[in-house]
Amino acid sequence: MSRPIVATIHQQALRQNLAIVRQAAPHSRVWSVVKANAYGHGIARCWQSLAETDGFALLNLEEAILLREQGWKKPILLLEGFFHSDELALLDRYRLTTSVHSNWQIHALAKAQLNAPLDIYLKVNSGMNRLGFRPEQVSAAWNKLRLLDNVGEMTLMAHFADAEKPDGLIEPLRRIEQAAEGLDCPRSLSNSAATLWHPEAHYDWVRPGIVLYGASPSGQWQDIASTGLKPAMTLSSEIIAIQQLSAGDGVGYGYRYHATGEQRIGVVACGYADGYPRHAPTGTPVMVDGVMTRTLGAVSMDMLMVDLTPCPQAGIGSKVELWGEQVKIDDVARAAGTVGYELMCALAPRVPVEVI
Ligand SMILES: *Cc1c(COP(=O)(O)O)cnc(C)c1O
């Protein structure tokens, strides 16, 4: 590696975060959500640290097959089910549990030639109007599926649009109750926010994602600061150049920052082509040589600038943490007008990754 940027994946943090999920939902089994290449952490790198889980949930067949080929034998849930009926042969071969959210999938299951029944998750539209059957359609869908030889165990599944709010589940849970009326069914409803903050929605299987990676489902690090959750990814780099500014000097594209007096700044080998958000404004938190400071001016493709005023000892080669244990990804994301989810998923392929 020549360029000093690196993403470090912390296996111990992944293990600890899963243990915290278990404590939060002690009576539920856990689908660890590893979609989007384990939220940018790398599914092949991460799954063994999460192997205490009861199952993995994701949505790419390729990722499911990779898990099987690497030796994972326990359940895998396809969160969006199959996208075309010809995928059913692979679901059968790799023994994948599938969500069923639309009538065409029921017809496809009825017609498929399978070696053994597939377990299914029937999805209820809890009100967010993304995937799933409306509550009044659920019992008909359930009964159709129950009659199919191709269908094994059935679970009712829903997803929440607003689970970080204290009263965000009232209306969705009412709709799910309506859907489940008269059905004797296991349920899987809870994402990270509901797993942490709504024990009334835990039921049989929870489906946490973001908390496994040590970021907040609400976008506010303070909301999870006391849980013991640990960031699973550190993005770090180094200072590669120093500039000495005088009053009025501009910094970076568009001169979006101007010095008001003498000021020493550092140039960091990290830019938006590495996954750092280009929208992060002057003042976004960053740590240099163990000291919290701030970014200055626009983020470039390959570099960004930082204020060295609080850390006069810093120089070429000083360590920079863009996010991780000290600089919370939630805080960087908030400064840039987004959420930690997007930043971790957007880690660029050109960034070397080490696992410790
Ligand atoms: C992504 C996803 C989850 C996990 O959500 P987090 O907010 O990361 O915990 C759970 N269920 C479904 C259906 C999802 O798509």
Question: What does each of the 356 residues of the chain score in pLDDT, given as a tens digit?
Answer: 689 999 999 999 999 999 999 999 999 999 999 999 999 999 999 999 999 999 999 999 999 999 999 999 999 999 999 999 999 999 999 999 999 999 999 999 999 999 999 999 999 999 999 999 999 999 999 999 999 999 999 999 999 999 999 999 999 999 999 999 999 899 999 999 999 999 999 999 999 999 999 999 999 999 999 999 999 999 999 999 999 999 999 999 999 999 999 999 999 999 999 999 999 999 999 999 999 999 999 999 999 999 999 999 999 999 999 999 999 999 999 999 999 999 999 999 999 999 99
Question: Is 35 among the residues known to form the active site?
Answer: yes
Going from the Cα of 253 to the center of ligand 1, the distance in angstroms, rounded, reads 37
How far, in Å, CA of 188 to CA of 201, rounded?
8
Candidates 46, 79, 99, 206: which one to mutate for ligand 1, based on the most atoms within 8 Å of Cβ?
79
pLDDT per position as a tens digit, 214-228: 999 999 999 999 999
Q: Among the options 74, 111, 121, 253, which is catalytic? A: 253
pTM higher than 0.85? yes
Decide which of 3.40.50.2030, 3.40.50.460, 2.40.37.10, 3.30.56.10 is the CATH code for 233-355: 2.40.37.10
CATH 3.20.20.10 in the chain, residue ranges: 11-215
Which residue has the CA at smallest separation from atom 3 of ligand 1? Answer: 191
**Termini Cα distance of the chain:** 17
Decide if domain 11-215 falls under CATH 3.20.20.10: yes
State how far Cα 136 lies from the chain centre.
31
The residue assigned the tokens 């000291």 is 291
Contact between 347 and 328 under an 8 Å Cβ cutoff? The reply is: no
Contact between 193 and 17 under an 8 Å Cβ cutoff? The reply is: no
CATH 2.40.37.10 in the chain, residue ranges: 233-355
Report residues whose beta carbon is within 6 angstroms of any ligand 1 atom: 33, 35, 79, 159, 191-192, 207-210, 217
pLDDT score for 303:
98
Going from the Cα of 195 to the center of ligand 1, the distance in angstroms, rounded, reads 11
